Structure 1
Amino acid sequence: MRPASPVSVVIAAAAALAAVTGCTEKSDAKDGGNVVKVTATDDKCEVSTKEFPAGHVELAVENKGSKVTEVYVLFPDDRVVTERENIGPGTRQRVTAEVKAGDYQIACKPGMKGAGIRQAVKATGGKAVKRDPRLDKAVADYRAYVQQQADETLPLAETFAKAVKDGDIEAAKKAYAPSRIGWERTEPVAESFGDIDPKVDVREDGLEDGQDPATDWTGWHRLEKSLWQDKKTGDREKELADRLITDLTDWRERVGKADITPTSMANGAKELLDEVATGKVTGEEERYSHTDLVDFKANVEGAQKSYELLKPVAQENDKALTTELDKQFAALNTLLDKYRPSTTSYEFTSYDKVGKADRKELSDAVNALAEPLSKLAAAVVVK
């Protein structure tokens, strides 16, 4: 979960994404018409009801504030049920989520930072969500995919950490981007835990108010700065390398227990495109290493994996949507292939070598995919 960037191109990208809706404008009457209106301002988060039937719930979000905001549905322990980032001032978005009976909080985060302004809500009733059996398999297959990515990430991260601890800056630089691929493919699952992402993937400008970069900034990007800008691996960097492995081991052990539903898979795919639009396309994510296109490709692969698993059901419910998604995924992947020597290679052009016009082309391709992808969650809800 990354902060909004002050750079104008980020604001433009967020504005473009903010026009995208998370589901159809009309709720499914067969699902009980579960619509919760969320009105966000710079200092309020108002909900139309604090109690609603469990099942497929639609958040109709309107940002009446002056800041870009995020809206979350949270479990009591702050795990994320669903979220939508980059909701621009004066815009509306709709998000479909599967919510079981229980207590939750709806949080608005003006400026996309902090704990947010929260409202306690309750989902009532014990009726199980009606779900196509193929979606249960999609969830199981996606859970296995996420676990595989975590399992494969840890040894790559250990190679990176060892190079840092050995003081081998060039080896650490070489190992840095590969160590992040599995994380970037499955980042929404990691973010759903609430506490892991800020430890391993936060940028310096993403620290919360009151946090000290000297002591509180940890993870990949802190080490990225040391390697590329400061050109050093001292005692603090060695300590942070060990800390990164500890936190990623925690992630690996927890991903198999993540709360995953078909709608969270679909919304997670959209979140990955948002990550691209507000970080990778702008160059803000990997500002020292310029390995943004590696992350970019991994985000797209993760989003496409979710889509492909959900596609059999989505195609029956909305053939036009899946046709458009197939087209836009293919177009974006073809465009990315221009920046690597081989489609079997994960070596990409350094992003500081990608000009303004080419970045605009990439941004347009991301937005062209994000618009239909935002409708995927509604397409997998049983009608």
Structure 2
Amino acid sequence: MRAARLSALAATVVAALTAVTGCTEKGSDGGDGVVHVTATDDKCEVSTKEFPAGHVELAIENKGSKVTEVYILFPDDRVVTERENIGPGTKQRVTAEVKAGDYQIACKPGMKGDGIRQAVKATGGGKAAKRDPRLDKAVAAYRQYVQQQADETLPLAETFAKAVKDGDLEAAKKAYAPSRIGWERTEPVAESFGDIDPKVDIREDGLEGQKWTGWHKLEKSLWHDKKITEADKGLADQLITDLKDWQNRVGKAEITPTSMANGAKELLDEVATGKVTGEEERYSHTDLVDFKANVEGAEKSYELLKPVAKENDPSLTTELDKQFAALDTLLDKYRADKDSYEFTSYDKVGDADRKDLSDAVNALAEPLSKLAAAVVAK
């Protein structure tokens, strides 16, 4: 969940502004240009305000003093692609597929707020980037997957909401974590809409003036306050309304091979900055359920893209296979059995074991960051 993650990071770093400077050059796929993004503390500039539609690569360097993130946004704030957790003095590359049209590049200081924005344009005839037909099949399969996850989430969420409305504390606690699995598997797609995630999955310290609603408000009531109020019962109804909105809209999401690959990396970032730290489920300590769901969602995207990525970069897919297997094996240590979604309460996981989990996530995240470029390589 983005807002909770941002607030957790903001608590450890001072708020920063970013700037973007640089030049364009030939992309790593041998075709489209690179837009250089260089963060400082008081500007946000791009190397070019126009670039060819198709596969665009952002070369990001953070020369500011704070962690930042960079987005390509549609004019209505829907997300084309993003890269988060870009530390001071570090560089990142992200490949995106864009059609001809108007966009914004947003640099978000401290990974919070609307950020500093630049209007940019992708030029061309409005056609999508040329794709290997296997990638069209991957997109279609992934679109079916995210719809399935949304459809399967609703009855689980309705079970959770009913328990809250019945005032049944223990039943609500039991239903809480299962109701979140489908969301966690596909969260980057939900986040791409911009408005749904803050309604259903925001943490209290991620609020920016809005009313606190969603799963985590109810989580606090169940585990911290140990009571269900009349207001909570209303929030349970609101959660179902918002999740139905997600269910109805997810099939219309903009999905490309690069957004699938970048979304897989975002899911690993979710794990690294929220689940491993124990900040996401700070009251229920069901972090390992979310952790597993995030990894499953990332692995689904990877498996669908793997045939093309393997052809273009076999050493990368060999490494990804190895690191996904290692992380899955490590997570299995904490589940009741291999088919169960019952995991050890995260407050029972010691610092050394948390470090092992963190190391495994980082070992996977680094090669996963290269998947989008491998998918579009020519």
TM-score scaled by length of structure 2: 0.93
1:42 offset after TM fit, Å?
3.2
Partner of 1:50: 49
Distance 1:195 1:176, change over 3 A: same
1:5 offset after TM fit, Å?
5.1
Gaps of 5+ in 1: 12-24
1:109 offset after TM fit, Å?
0.6
Residues 81-116 of structure 1 show CA distances to partners (whole Å, capped at 9, x for unaligned) of 000111111211110000100000000111111111
Question: Where do 1:130-141 residues align within 5 Å?
Answer: 130-141=130-141
Among 302, 326, 331, the alignment partner of 2:321 is: 326
Matching of residue 275 in structure 1 with residue 270 in structure 2 = yes
Contact 2:7–2:112 (8 Å) recurs in 1: no
Partner of 1:147: 147
Partner of 1:16: none
Quote the Cα distance in structure 2 between the aligned partners of 1:8 and 1:68. 9
Partner of 1:248: 243
Gaps of 5+ in 2: 14-24
1:74 offset after TM fit, Å?
0.3
Contact 1:130–1:382 (8 Å) recurs in 2: no
Contact 2:29–2:377 (8 Å) recurs in 1: no
Contact 1:266–1:376 (8 Å) recurs in 2: yes
Distance 1:7 1:46, change over 3 A: closer
Partner of 1:186: 186
Matching of residue 224 in structure 1 with residue 213 in structure 2 = no
1:261 offset after TM fit, Å?
0.2
Quote the Cα distance in structure 2 between the aligned partners of 1:44 and 1:302. 35
RMSD of aligned Cα (Å): 1.6
Distance 1:28 1:8, change over 3 A: closer
Partner SS for 2:140:
helix
Aligned length: 364
Matching of residue 309 in structure 1 with residue 304 in structure 2 = yes
Aligned AA (1:300) = V
Aligned AA (2:56) = V
Quote the Cα distance in structure 2 between the aligned partners of 1:299 and 1:169. 27
Quote the Cα distance in structure 2 between the aligned partners of 1:44 and 1:286. 35
Partner SS for 1:276:
helix
Question: Where do 1:44-123 residues align within 5 Å?
Answer: 44-123=43-122
Task: Point out the more displaced range, 276-285 or 65-74.
Answer: 65-74
Partner SS for 2:103:
strand
Contact 1:31–1:55 (8 Å) recurs in 2: no
Quote the Cα distance in structure 2 between the aligned partners of 1:223 and 1:54. 44
Residues 192-250 of structure 1 show CA distances to partners (whole Å, capped at 9, x for unaligned) of 00000011011111112xx16xxx11110010000000111111101110110000000
Quote the Cα distance in structure 2 between the aligned partners of 1:28 and 1:288. 44
Partner of 1:22: none
Partner of 1:237: 232
Quote the Cα distance in structure 2 between the aligned partners of 1:368 and 1:26. 29
Quote the Cα distance in structure 2 between the aligned partners of 1:302 and 1:42. 34
Residues 47-81 of structure 1 show CA distances to partners (whole Å, capped at 9, x for unaligned) of 00111110100001111222211110000110000
Contact 1:272–1:302 (8 Å) recurs in 2: yes
Quote the Cα distance in structure 1 between the aligned partners of 2:9 and 2:54. 39
Aligned AA (1:54) = A
Partner SS for 1:39:
strand
Contact 2:196–2:246 (8 Å) recurs in 1: yes
1:128 offset after TM fit, Å?
3.8
Among 327, 331, 340, the alignment partner of 1:336 is: 331
Contact 1:165–1:238 (8 Å) recurs in 2: yes
Contact 1:4–1:10 (8 Å) recurs in 2: no
Partner of 2:124: 125
1:41 offset after TM fit, Å?
2.7
Aligned AA (2:55) = H
Task: Point out the more displaced range, 64-73 or 280-289.
Answer: 64-73
Quote the Cα distance in structure 1 between the aligned partners of 2:153 and 2:266. 21
Percentage identity across paired residues of the two chains: 85
Partner SS for 2:290:
helix
1:297 offset after TM fit, Å?
0.1
Partner of 2:368: 373
Task: Point out the more displaced range, 190-199 or 1-10.
Answer: 1-10
